[in-house]
Amino acid sequence: MKRLAKGPVSGEPMIGMSKWLRVGIVALAVTFIGANTFAVSNQSGPLAVSVCAILRDSRQYQSQKLAVKAEVFADGMHGSMLTDSRCSGRGLILTEAKDEQEETVKKLQRYIFEGYPGTGRGKTISGVFVGKLKWTRFPMSSREGFGFEIQTIQDLKLTMPSEFGPPPQVDLPPAY
């Protein structure tokens, strides 16, 4: 029979001490694993961010799933972009998803051409656009940069005036 060592003060066997040590280690491990699981589960949802924040530092957001509350600017011919009135004059170019498009993305494409092509003259399209930044070559251009690839859209809204006025007059440069 193996003889157990006696505790330094009480004279009780050391086995009691190691039992509490094991319980403590297990409790710490459970706490650590639970905290990491919680942190990972919070990261799985999209990060809410503005168009302005993305334009300020695109690289910070390049590998994350994002939720961007914005309006769509589209001319109906050359592409579309997400805009935010807080950083007017700038936008985040929308890119085409390579795989099967989700129903709300198809609905956005229909909204862009409903009534008349594009937005403006009282027609607005807004929502929360969920997707990822992708490095891309922009259509109709030789430029490269970050584009926003939409995966789905929440709260998609189309606002159109009851009557459209005449189309805006555009002065085209002379043909060569």
Q: What pTM did the predictor assign? A: 0.67
pLDDT tens digit sequence for 4-63: 555 555 555 555 556 655 655 655 554 555 444 343 444 579 999 999 999 999 999 988
Domain count, the chain: 2
pLDDT tens digit sequence for 115-143: 889 998 889 999 999 999 998 877 667 78
Q: Looking at the domain assignment, is residue 171 inside a domain?
A: no
How far is residue 126's CA from residue 156's CA, in Å, rounded to a whole number?
6
Query: Do residues 92 and 54 share a domain?
Result: yes
Q: Which domain holds residue 58?
A: 47-159
Q: Looking at the domain assignment, is residue 3 inside a domain?
A: no
Query: Do residues 79 and 39 share a domain?
Result: no
pLDDT top residue among 14 and 148: 148
How far is residue 145's CA from residue 139's CA, in Å, rounded to a whole number?
11
Query: Do residues 81 and 122 share a domain?
Result: yes
* CATH code, 98: 2.40.50.140
Asked whether 68 and 54 are in contact (CB, 8 A), the reply is yes
pLDDT tens digit sequence for 149-164: 999 999 999 998 877 6
**Per-residue pLDDT, 38:** 41
- Confidence at 104, pLDDT banded by 50, 70, 90: very high
Query: If you write DSSP's letter for every residue of 118-129 in order, what string do you get?
Result: SSBTTBEEEEEE
